[in-house]
C-alpha cells in the first residue's frame, strides 16, 4: 500500500540545535514507516550565521535519513537585534509559502507553533493549497508567552496575535500539544464555544542516545577538563538562554554562592561540599539573554561561573553527564503556555533537577511524581537559594544520585521516544 504523504513546516531542522528542530527530526524519521515525509525549513542558521554553501540559491533540496528536506535561504541575523530577527523570520514565512507549491500532492500538513503565530498560519496555508488535513503542534502558546514576560506592551499587537492564532486553531483538524496544562489553555481560549479537537502527547528525548555515564567516563572527564569543571560540584543550565526562563534574576540568587571579589574588594572563597569540592555554575548554550549574564558575572567578579557554547548533538550526552544537578526553569506566568523539554534530557542522563516551575505544570508534575528533583515556584528566590544550599550540603549523599535514577527509570517506563512518536502517527492517521 502506498504511504500517505506528510508535509512538515519546521522553522529549524537538523543540523540546527533548536530543541523543536531536534524533536521534529526524530518525529519525522520515526514516522517514515507510515508516511512519505517532506520538511520545509530554513538553511542551517539557528545561531544567526549561514555557511557560504547556502548563500547562492533560493532553495536547497536534501535527503536526510530518508526525509526529503527543502531548505529556504534566509538573511543572517543577530539574536540581540529585533529588526534582523524579524526580517529573518518573515523571509522564512514567505519563502515557505512559496515552497509549498514545489512539493507536490500532500495528504497531511503539520506545522508547529514556531515561529510564533506564523507557524500556525503556514499550516493553514498548506491545508488550503494542498487540500490536506492539518495538524497544529503547539509547543508554546502565543501571545500568552509574550504577555507572561512583558515582551510587548501593545495590547493591539497581542490582540491581533491572539486572533490569528485562534484562527489557526479553528482551521486545524487536530491540535497536538505537549502538556496537560497546555490542553487547558486551548479549552480556555475557546471557553463557551466549540473547542478544536485536541490531544496531549509528551515531548521526549531519545533515551538510547542520552543515558547515564560513569563519572570516570573518558569523554565526560575531557569535557569537564576543557571547561574547568573537573573536581567540582557542577550545577548546570543546558539549553536556550532566552527570555522565558527568568535567568537574569536567578543568576542573582546564584551570586549568594559565588567565589570571587566583592564590590568592596573582599575575596570570598565560595561554598564547598562536604567532600571538599568547589561549587561551579555552568551555562551550556546560547540565546538572547546570554550577553547580559556574562556581563553580570564579570561586573560581580563571579569566578565560579562558566559559559559553554552549544554542544553538537553527538556530544550532548557528555555535557549533560558533566552536571551533578541541572536547572529546569520557567518564568512566572508560563504555566499552560510552554513546557520545558530540557527536563527529558536531564532525566535521560539520570541527573537530579532544580525545578523552578509553577504548581500544576506538566513538567513539575513529572518531577514530583517520580521524585527526581526539588521544586519551587518561580519568583520565590529564597526557596531557590534554599534548594541550591540543600544540594550543596547533600552533594556526597546517595539521595541525589537516587533522584537522578528515579528520573531515568520513569522516562524509560513512560516517556520514550518510540511511545510518543507512535502516538503522533496514530492520531494523524485517525483523521
DSSP symbols for 285-335: S--TTHHHHHHHHHHTT-TTEEEEPPPPGGGHHHHHHH-SEEEEE--TT-T
Q: What is the structure's pLDDT at 351?
A: 98
- Whether the link from the prior residue into 115 is cis, omega within 30° of 0, is yes
Which class in CATH covers the domain with range 4-204+416-430? alpha beta
Q: What is the structure's pLDDT at 312?
A: 87
Distance, CA of 132 to CA of 110 (rounded, Å): 10
DSSP 142: T
One fold for 4-204+416-430 and 218-414? yes
Question: Taking the domain 218-414, which CATH number applies?
Answer: 3.40.50.2000
Distance, CA of 349 to CA of 321 (rounded, Å): 6
DSSP 35: E
Domain ranges of the chain: 4-204+416-430, 218-414
Q: Which three cell numbers stand for residue 392?
A: 550543596
Q: What is the structure's pLDDT at 107?
A: 98
pLDDT along the chain (431 residues), means of 10: 94 89 93 98 92 93 97 88 89 97 97 95 98 97 85 84 96 96 95 93 93 96 97 96 92 94 83 96 94 95 95 93 97 91 95 97 96 97 98 96 97 93 97 96
Q: What is the structure's pLDDT at 431?
A: 96
Amino acid at each position: 500500500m502506498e504511504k500517505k504523504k506528510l508535509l512538515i513546516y519546521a522553522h529549524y531542522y537538523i543540523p540546527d540545535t533548536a530543541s523543536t528542530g531536534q524533536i521534529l527530526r526524530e518525529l519525522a524519521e520515526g514516522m517514515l514507516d507510515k508516511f512519505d515525509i517532506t520538511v520545509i525549513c530554513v538553511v542551517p542558521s539557528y545561531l544567526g550565521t549561514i555557511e557560504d554553501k547556502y548563500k547562492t540559491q533560493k532553495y536547497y533540496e536534501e535527503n536526510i535519513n530518508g526525509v526529503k528536506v527543502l531548505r529556504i535561504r534566509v538573511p543572517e541575523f543577530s539574536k540581540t537585534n529585533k529588526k534582523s530577527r524579524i526580517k529573518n523570520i518573515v523571509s522564512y514565512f514567505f519563502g515557505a509559502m512559496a515552497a509549498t507549491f514545489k512539493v507536490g500532492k500532500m495528504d497531511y500538513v503539520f506545522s508547529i507553533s514556531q515561529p510564533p503565530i506564523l507557524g500556525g498560519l503556514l499550516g493553514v496555508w498548506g491545508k488550503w493549497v494542498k487540500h490536506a488535513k492539518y495538524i497544529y503542534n503547539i509547543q508554546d502558546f502565543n501571545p500568552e508567552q509574550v504577555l507572561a514576560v512583558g515582551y510587548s506592551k501593545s495590547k493591539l499587537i497581542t490582540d491581533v496575535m491572539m486572533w490569528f492564532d485562534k484562527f489557526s486553531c479553528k482551521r486545524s483538524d487536530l491540535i497536538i500539544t505537549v502538556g496537560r496544562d497546555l490542553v487547558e489553555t486551548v479549552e480556555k481560549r475557546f471557553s463557551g464555544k466549540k473547542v478544536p479537537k485536541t490531544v496531549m502527547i509528551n515531548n521526549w528525548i531519545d533515551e538510547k542516545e542520552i543515558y547515564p555515564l560513569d563519572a570516570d567516563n573518558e569523554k565526560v572527564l575531557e569535557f569537564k577538563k576543557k571547561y574547568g569543571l573537573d573536581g567540582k560540584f557542577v550545577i548546570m543550565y543546558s539549553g536556550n538562554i532566552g527570555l522565558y526562563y527568568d535567568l537574569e534574576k536567578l543568576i542573582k540568587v546564584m551570586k549568594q554562592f559565588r567565589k570571587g571579589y566583592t564590590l568592596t574588594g573582599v575575596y570570598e572563597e565560595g561554598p564547598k561540599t562536604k567532600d571538599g569540592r568547589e561549587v561551579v555554575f555552568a551555562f551550556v548554550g546560547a540565546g538572547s539573554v546570554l550577553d547580559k549574564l556574562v556581563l553580570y558575572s564579570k561586573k560581580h567578579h563571579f569566578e565560579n561561573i562558566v559559559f559553554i557554547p552549544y554542544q553538537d548533538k553527538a556530544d550532548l550526552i557528555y555535557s549533560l553527564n558533566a552536571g551533578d544537578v541541572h536547572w529546569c526553569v520557567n518564568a512566572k506566568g508560563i504555566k499552560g503556555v510552554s513546557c520545558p523539554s530540557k527536563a527529558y534530557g536531564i532525566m535521560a542522563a539520570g541527573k537530579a533537577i532544580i525545578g523552578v516551575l509553577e504548581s500544576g505544570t506538566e513538567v513539575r508534575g513529572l518531577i514530583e511524581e517520580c521524585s527526581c528533583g526539588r521544586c519551587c515556584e518561580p519568583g520565590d528566590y529564597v526557596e531557590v537559594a534554599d534548594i541550591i544550599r540543600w544540594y550543596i550540603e547533600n552533594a556526597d549523599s546517595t539521595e541525589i544520585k537516587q533522584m537522578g535514577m528515579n528520573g531515568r527509570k520513569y522516562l524509560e517506563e513512560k516517556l520514550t521516544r518510540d511511545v510518543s512518536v507512535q502516538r503522533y502517527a496514530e492520531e494523524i492517521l485517525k483523521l
